[in-house]
A and B are shown apart, each in its own frame.
Chain A
């Protein structure tokens, strides 16, 4: 096997056999299986659904679930590595062929990869580590009418509740701002937006 694009490590022995088995599927069966796979890749949280769909596929096509799961594991190696390395559909096709999948199926899979890769890339970026991510912001503002020290006040206050994700927990942070602080905060945030936009 030549150099692969999606990984630098040696591929497990079983993969060749799995590809050989895949080649036995009809074009229609392969297309259905590919659809199930990409649906899972674009919604990785739907594990239950994925397993159900795999099981249905196995029953409908009279394949045992155990071997099917192994085949699926082998197939998934490629898109996972491809995502990490930003591979093109050409490279994905070449890798499948190198692994032993026939040209027709490799091309088909590579096409599906091209269609789905923007969504998959966005997902992968979204999974990237974020420190104390800001999840939500609630606000209220009003007028202080009076206090125990001042009978009539009439000053404006702004209160923000920031919901921050610390590790796996959400923490609420409450802050009060004066009006000048608010305008200054708004101004700074607009500068950040300009900066972020210039780098996008």
Chain B
């Protein structure tokens, strides 16, 4: 998470050279979504469109990244709160445009931040089937139902970047194991309701 710096707002004024409002919008989105390490290449792509030097492009991209991330971090949702961030002498129209763009995107950006936060491997899918075991080397004839459960688990999004690694784990549960598991899950549900009702 980056904090807003002194030179950021000066750099933002470079946006006045942008060809259109949509170009500004596009750039804001790209700067938010980009990881700090990827800002360099982004600046190189954006520079020519704005007719600025490579150095200025980098400052701009970095400033936009910091601004958008800061707003999401603080959880600002009102126009007044965002407008307050800008210094007194900042270009009025640009300030309004940036605030508008940020407000449009804030909830999508918040979701993006939440889904990409660090976590244990996540459950992405779950499938099950029930089999009846009819015979084995230890008993020639039986009728024992058993459950096969497959969990698809995705490794930490932050580690995988754009190519998430999903592994599938298939396990077998006897009826007793399933009953015990359901007991545990039921207790979780009860505790969750107790917390929700407080």
Contact = CB atoms under 8 A, between A and B. Distances in A.
A149 B66 CA distance: 11
A164 B146 CA distance: 16
Given A128-B133, A150-B72, A175-B120, A139 B126 contact: no
A125 B144 contact: yes
B121 A175 contact: yes
B51 interface: no
- Classify the secondary structure of A's interface with B: mixed
Interface string B1-43: 1000000000000000000000000000000000000000000
A131 B170 contact: yes
Given A150-B75, A186-B185, A196 B192 contact: no
A130 B178 CA distance: 14
B162 interface: no
Contacts of B73: 149-151
Interface string A118-141: 000100110111111111010101
A174 B181 contact: no
What interface size band does chain B fall in?
35 or more
A147 B116 CA distance: 11
Contact of B140 (A84, A147, A173, A185): A84
A199 B171 contact: no
B29 to A, nearest CB: 16
A176 B75 contact: no
Contact of B113 (A149, A164, A181): A149
Contact of A192 (B120, B178, B184): B178
27 contacts: A84-B139, A86-B140, A125-B142, A132-B170, A132-B171, A133-B173, A134-B149, A134-B181, A141-B191, A141-B192, A147-B118, A149-B72, A150-B75, A150-B110, A150-B114, A151-B73, A159-B120, A164-B169, A164-B171, A174-B121, A176-B122, A176-B123, A182-B185, A184-B126, A193-B178, A195-B147, A200-B175
Interface of A: 83-86, 121, 124-125, 127-135, 137, 139, 141, 144, 147-153, 155-159, 162, 164, 173-177, 179, 181-186, 188-190, 192-193, 195-197, 199-200
Interface of B: 1, 69, 72-75, 110, 113-114, 116-123, 126, 128, 130, 132-133, 136, 138-149, 151, 153, 169-175, 177-182, 184-186, 188-189, 191-192
Nearest 4 A-B pairs (CB), nearest first? A199-B145, A149-B113, A176-B120, A132-B171
